[in-house]
Amino acid sequence: MATPAHRDTPLARGKRAATAGILTNTLLSVFKLLAGVAGNSYALVADAIESIADVVSSSIVLRGLQIAGRHPDEQHPFGYGKAEALAAAAVALMLLGAALGIAIEAVRQIRTPHHAPAWWTLLVLVVVIAIKARLSRRVATVGSEIGSTAVRTDARHHFSDALTSTAAFIGISIAVIKGPGWESADGWAALAASAVIAVNAVLLIRPAVGDLMDRSPEPDLVANIRDTASAVAGVLAIEKLAVRRTGLGYQAVVHVQADPAMSLHDAHELGATVTRAIHHRVPEMQSVLVHMEPYEGNA
């Protein structure tokens, strides 16, 4: 039987957050789609499409986390961590596609005369906004705590859905309050929502691409690793340090300079000590490769 510690691993928490998103958005997408069709609101239908995209995106995030959690093997000696960043990039691209589709249909709705939405669709949106705002906050908290780009991307996707619902609420309110001649406000709300979704997608894809391109993580983390290695007895200098994010953790390569007269055995032991120190200081560190070099002073 799994222990509580096992159930609360970063990977397990990320999977639970993605699963919660899938279940919530499945129910909301059906709810909004039926209400949008019955209430004659394309903004609400567009909102339902966004929720359907959320279901797919959360499924991609869940699968990405499952793959990223695999142990290294012969074919993938550096592990499967990049699957997490790939999932985040896929979700961002899906957002862009959804934004384009909603914008095209919104323009068609604006150009085509139609009846105003039913007033009760506003009540539907109030419920939806409350649920999505809460879900976004919870998933974002998990993403930040476990350091997952994919989970944080999923949270932003939920947040964009809440923004879409807010835009729909404003558009429908205008159409209902102003009456005849203002029916297109519903379509303009959907168009505005598509712009918000597109901006979110661009913001989300940047960190995912950064992880895929092995961009160095935040300077404070790198400095922390450097200080930890430098503090080990016998280390005279850190010549090079490279750190990259992979999945929910990090990998580091450290060039350590030590006494040139040190034996090969002692150099090996010093390298192992540096590795243990870094793992202890940064629990998310997955692997540390220490390259030992002779100390060259100020040369």
In a domain, 299, yes or no: no
Residue 126 included in any domain: yes
Residue 70, token pair as written in the block: 């695999």
**Claim to verify: residue 208 and residue 224 sit in the same structural domain:** no
Q: Examine the domain organization and report whether 205 and 281 are in the same domain.
A: no
Tell whether 284 is covered by a domain: yes
Is residue 157 in a domain? yes
pTM assigned to the model? 0.72
Do 147 and 231 have their domain in common?
no
Tell me the pLDDT of the chain (299 aa) as tens digits: 344 444 578 878 888 888 888 898 888 888 888 888 888 777 678 778 777 877 887 888 888 888 888 888 888 888 888 888 898 888 888 888 878 887 887 888 788 766 777 788 888 889 988 998 899 899 989 888 888 878 887 887 788 778 778 877 888 888 888 877 787 787 788 788 788 888 888 888 888 888 888 888 889 999 999 999 999 999 999 999 999 988 788 999 999 999 999 999 999 999 999 999 999 999 889 899 999 999 987 54
Looking at the structure, tell me whether residues 289 and 255 fall in a common domain: yes
Are 288 and 279 a contacting pair, CB within 8 Å?
yes
Q: Determine the Cα–Cα distance for residues 167 and 194; give it in Å rounded to an integer.
A: 10
* Residue 137 sits in the same domain as residue 176: yes
User: Is 199 found in the same domain as 231?
Assistant: no
Pick the last residue of a domain from 191, 212, 233: 212
- Domain boundary, last residue among 161, 191, 212: 212
We report the CATH number of the domain holding residue 270 as: 3.30.70.1350
Is 14 in the same domain as 90?
yes
Q: For residue 2, what pLDDT is reported?
A: 41
Q: What is the pLDDT of residue 104?
A: 87
Helix (H, G, I), strand (E, B) or coil at 69: coil
Are 137 and 225 in the same domain? no
In a domain? residue 163: yes
Cα 130 to Cα 81, 125, 152, 284: the distances in Å are 34, 8, 19, 34
Count of C-beta atoms within a 10 Å radius of residue 120: 12
Check whether residue 121 and residue 67 sit in a common domain.
yes
| Owning domain of residue 241 | 219-294
> In this predicted structure, what is the pLDDT of residue 298?
58
The answer to whether the beta carbons of residues 47 and 41 sit under 8 Å apart is no
Residue for token pair 């609101």: 41
Domain boundary among 150, 179, 212: 212
Is residue 196 included in any domain, yes or no? yes
Say how many domains are in the chain.
2
The residues with which 246 forms a beta bridge, in sequence order, are 249
